[in-house]
A and B are shown apart, each in its own frame.
Chain A
Amino acid sequence: QVQLQESGPRLVKPSETLSLTCTVSGGSINGYNWGWIRQSPGKELVWIGKIAYHGHTEYSRSFEGRVTISLDSSNNQFSLSLISATAADTAVYYCVRDLDWKNDYWSQGTLVTVSS
């Protein structure tokens, strides 16, 4: 059974970089696409972007210029980096496996708060 688990700072200061890593267990990261989705308190799910197993990335226009998603196949991990964080980036962040028009595995989600 594939499982995803995020790790990273839960508290980020405004203007700093929000960074999260997703570790994949129970399966290989190779051959699949991987993505990040977030949900601000009381709001809808918002797609941030995804990375293919060969490294091609696609980002939501809402985050372009601020976001980088990268892959570390040797450690079965992928990461999210969001620069110039603001309070509006406070949200629960989910990492997902994006497979053939479905997100078939999700992490439990981690709340990241942007505050001084």
Chain B
Amino acid sequence: QSVLTQPPSVSAAPGQKVTISCSGSSSNIGSKYVSWYQHVPGTAPKLLIYDNDKRPSGIPDRFSGSKSGTSATLGITGLQTGDEAVYYCGTWDTGTWDPSLRGWVFGGGTELTVL
């Protein structure tokens, strides 16, 4: 069971918008920056969003991130078939409540299907 909770799958039609949620706790999302990664199996995972809502250069503004309290959300607008991938949220857990969790923690991944 992952420390961060994501829905296993989401789907939408081309051109539509989806959001992917990521829920954690005060020792991780509640106190640290969240990042999001796009993973097409067989390729290197790609950083999409960092510091909750910033995009690295080269990432289109169709991708957005936000954080509120102990939850974060990834938004993707103008869906394209090329967006089909597994999306992961990640952050640092301080280990405040469970020292065994100190370190990077990730969600279980959300598989996006563009119908």
A contacts, CB < 8 Å to B: 4, 35, 37, 44-47, 49, 58-62, 94, 98, 101-109
Q: Is B17 an interface residue (CB 8 A)?
A: no
Tell me the smallest distance from the CB of B32 to a CB of chain A, in Å: 6
Question: Would you call the interface of chain A mostly helix, strand, loop, or mixed?
Answer: strand
Contact B51 A101 (CB under 8 A): yes
> Would A44 and B108 be within 8 Å (CB), given that A102-B33, A102-B51 are in contact?
yes
Contact B37 A103 (CB under 8 A): yes
Q: Which of B46, B99, B103, B106: most chain A Cβ within 10 A?
A: B103
Instruction: Please give me the 4 A-B residue pairs with the lowest Cβ-Cβ distance, nearest first.
Output: A47-B104, A102-B50, A45-B106, A44-B2
* Interface size classification for chain B: 20 to 34
| Chain B residue with Cβ nearest A47 | B104
With a cutoff of 8 Å between Cβ atoms, the chain B residues found around residue A58 in the complex are 103
7 A-B residue pairings within 8 Å (CB atoms): A4-B44, A47-B104, A49-B103, A101-B92, A103-B104, A105-B44, A108-B42
Query: With A and B bound together, what is the CA distance between A109 and B43 in angstroms?
Result: 8
Contact A45 B88 (CB under 8 A): yes
Q: Is B14 an interface residue (CB 8 A)?
A: no
Contact A108 B33 (CB under 8 A): no
Contact A104 B50 (CB under 8 A): yes
Q: Is B24 an interface residue (CB 8 A)?
A: no
B contacts, CB < 8 Å to A: 2, 32-33, 35, 37, 42-47, 50-51, 56, 88, 90-92, 99-100, 102-109
Tell me the smallest distance from the CB of A97 to a CB of chain B, in Å: 10
Contact B35 A101 (CB under 8 A): yes
Q: Which of A49, A58, A98, A104: most chain B Cβ within 10 A?
A: A104
Tell me the smallest distance from the CB of B87 to a CB of chain A, in Å: 12
| Chain A residue with Cβ nearest B42 | A108
> Would A35 and B104 be within 8 Å (CB), given that A44-B109, A103-B47 are in contact?
yes
Query: With A and B bound together, what is the CA distance between A102 and B32 in angstroms?
Result: 11
> Would A101 and B37 be within 8 Å (CB), given that A47-B103, A107-B44 are in contact?
no
Contact B47 A104 (CB under 8 A): yes
**Sample of 5 more A-B contacts, CB < 8 Å, known A59-B103, A103-B37, A103-B90:** A49-B103, A61-B103, A101-B50, A101-B91, A102-B47
